[in-house]
Structure 1
Amino acid sequence: MSSSASTAASSGYVRDARDPRHLDRAVADLLAGLRRWRLGAALARLDIRNRYRGSVLGPFWMTASTAIMVVGIGLLYSTLFKLTLREYLPFLAVSLLVWGTINQIVADACQSFISSEGVIRQMPLPYTVHVLRFVFRNAIIAAHSLPLIAVVMLACGVLPGPEAIFVIPGLLLLAINGFSVGLFLGMVCARFRDIPQVVASFMQFAFFLSPILWKPELLGEMQVLLPLNPIYVLMETVRGPLVEGGAGLRIWAAALFYTAASCTIALLFFVRFRSRIAFWV
């Protein structure tokens, strides 16, 4: 036995090119990353602190921007759609907040590994920690805008009923999809650096196709096709319980289907290409 082989055997690490064990290593990375979720949360808080260093309002600048959009767009589109402000403003406030969170999650997903290039090359951390990092970061930023929804609802005299409890599983599905999309897009965009521009163009297109500024009822009979839009489905699991009396069973079934599909695709890619991420970044 050669000296290198004896050294590898004594250290307990033996690599066989004929048996790369991609699945075992991917699952081990996933579990190790989930066990270190506190590290991902701490890195997310550090990102927010560094991003808004020297700022007076910090993340609340986004809250102020959303508030201005709600008032401005609400006054205009409520007139165009012939809706009362009491009916339209709560819908618009929740829609813009959820859409902003989804849009930012997708944008950050494209950079989940690229932005962590230095850490990936220098420290043996699970790759999933970097994905958790941006998921926690967007969750914290979105939480700063939650008081805006409460203010709009109180001002309009519209309060959610007991079905609002279903917001919790809706947010959970949104977080799971954010994690899986971050895992998938993080690898694809690390390999092909022009993909983020394609994704950004797609999200602009999806904004106009999704009922964010307009209500689903305006489609009339075509409303039955909306569950084919995964962005609408994920939005409705959060928005429906707050302003529309809850989401229907078809919405929840579609949300579970899209979540299972995104997790499956992300896992398949992670198993196959995990070992190449360090070279791609």
Structure 2
Amino acid sequence: MDLVKQSDVSTSQDEETEFAIDLRHGLGLIARHRMACGDVAKGFGLWRLALTLSWLDIRLRYRGSILGPFWLTLSTALMIGSLGFLYAFLFHTPIRDYLPFLSLSLILWTFIATIISEGCTVFVSAEGMIRSMRIPFSVYLGQLLARNILILGHNVVVIVVVFLAFQVPVSFAAFAAIPAFLIWMVDGIATALLLGAICARFRDIPPIIGSIMQIAFYVSAVMFKPEFLGKRGWFLLYDPFFTLLQIVRQPLLGSIPGYATYLSAIGFSIALCALTWYTFLRVRHRIAFWI
């Protein structure tokens, strides 16, 4: 009986040690880097927990609904249908060419905008769990990313229906969207971590981010094709939202973006990840107190 009790105590102690979050202040850069890497590594190890939490979020959000997340799919389809015919007329573009572009653009942009918007409150919304449970901060980032990927999977139905209705050919160029989407996932985690930490300290940042995203929606070639601008569209290569959107959208439409687009997107991703990691090293031990 004593052996059983001792084994239970040692097991519980091991678990506490494994999932402990060190929030000590005044540590050196190497120690902070080691703890941050441990946080991320443990978060990856708990990917099943992040996936379960994301699925639970979706079930709670649409609890009592008949169609569940497909209500969002239906509303997206209605918006694409109504805006597609209107803007095709305004841009003097055949609906056969414009509607597949618009459906792909709006659904991909919704994915980006939602991650940025929810990333601002990723830690604030998990205040109860952070204060009561020893879970790596990276788990909440995985939960946010997995939830939005599941919702994107529901909205992909609209793209498939539009492509089939207008007989849009899908070439081998579409495979180039796979590594581009992996870049999206890395950027999504980095963005949520950066904004989540900053917005936990400064609660007036989310409205500013919302205003920036509204402006970016209109200037990042979401509603219009970039070729409509002709030579005047040179500034789009300096727009990170456009280049990141383009490296996924254009291969799915049958062509490969130019090297300048990839260089811009990859350069922005590297800068974002570097800034995020530096910020995480500086404020990781403070997040639990800011919320």
Compared CA separation, residues 150 and 19, structure 1 to 2 (3 A): closer
Query: Of the candidates 236, 239, 242, which is equivalent to residue 232 of structure 1?
Result: 242
Query: Of the candidates 223, 239, 255, which is equivalent to residue 265 of structure 2?
Result: 255
The match for 2:40 is 30
- 1:3-18 aligned at under 5 Å gives the runs none
Q: How far off is 1:259 after superposition? A: 1.1
The match for 2:67 is 57
Count of paired positions: 270
The match for 1:43 is 53
Query: Of the candidates 193, 206, 228, which is equivalent to residue 218 of structure 1?
Result: 228
The match for 1:147 is 157
Q: How far off is 1:246 after superposition? A: 2.2
TM-score, L = length of structure 2 = 0.89
Q: Are 1:279 and 2:281 an aligned pair?
A: no
Compared CA separation, residues 247 and 15, structure 1 to 2 (3 A): closer
Q: Which runs of 5+ in 1 are unaligned?
A: 1-10
What's the CA shift string for 1:231-264, capped at 9, x where partnerless?
A: 1111111110111512222212211111111111
Q: Runs (4+) of structure 1 moved beyond 3 Å?
A: 13-20
Compared CA separation, residues 126 and 159, structure 1 to 2 (3 A): same
CA contact (8 A) 1:240 1:247 kept: yes
CA contact (8 A) 1:85 1:156 kept: no
Distance (Å, rounded) in 2 between the aligned partners of 1:59 and 1:193:
29
Distance (Å, rounded) in 2 between the aligned partners of 1:39 and 1:17:
28
Q: How far off is 1:17 after superposition? A: 6.1
Query: Of the candidates 246, 263, 268, which is equivalent to residue 278 of structure 2?
Result: 268
Q: Are 1:206 and 2:190 an aligned pair?
A: no
Q: How far off is 1:16 after superposition? A: 8.2
Q: Give SS of 2:125's match.
A: helix
Q: Are 1:160 and 2:160 an aligned pair?
A: no
Q: How far off is 1:15 after superposition? A: 9.8
Compared CA separation, residues 240 and 18, structure 1 to 2 (3 A): closer
Q: Give SS of 1:257's match.
A: helix
The match for 1:98 is 108
Q: Give SS of 2:255's match.
A: coil
Partner AA of 1:280 in structure 2: W
Q: Are 1:127 and 2:137 an aligned pair?
A: yes
Q: How far off is 1:19 after superposition? A: 3.8
Distance (Å, rounded) in 1 between the aligned partners of 2:193 and 2:253:
32
RMSD over equivalenced CA pairs, Å? 1.7
Q: How far off is 1:213 after superposition? A: 0.8
- 1:81-92 aligned at under 5 Å gives the runs 81-92=91-102
CA contact (8 A) 1:160 1:245 kept: no
Q: Are 1:170 and 2:177 an aligned pair?
A: no
Q: Which moved more, 1:33-42 or 1:104-113?
A: 33-42
Compared CA separation, residues 222 and 244, structure 1 to 2 (3 A): farther
Q: Which runs of 5+ in 2 are unaligned?
A: 1-16
Compared CA separation, residues 110 and 161, structure 1 to 2 (3 A): same
Q: Give SS of 2:151's match.
A: helix
Q: Give SS of 2:260's match.
A: helix
Compared CA separation, residues 136 and 18, structure 1 to 2 (3 A): closer
Q: How far off is 1:224 after superposition? A: 2.2
Q: Give SS of 1:212's match.
A: coil
Partner AA of 2:206 in structure 1: P
Compared CA separation, residues 18 and 217, structure 1 to 2 (3 A): closer
The match for 2:204 is 194
Distance (Å, rounded) in 1 between the aligned partners of 2:151 and 2:224:
25
Q: Are 1:73 and 2:79 an aligned pair?
A: no
Query: What percentage of residue pairs aligned between the two structures are identical?
Result: 40
Partner AA of 1:152 in structure 2: V
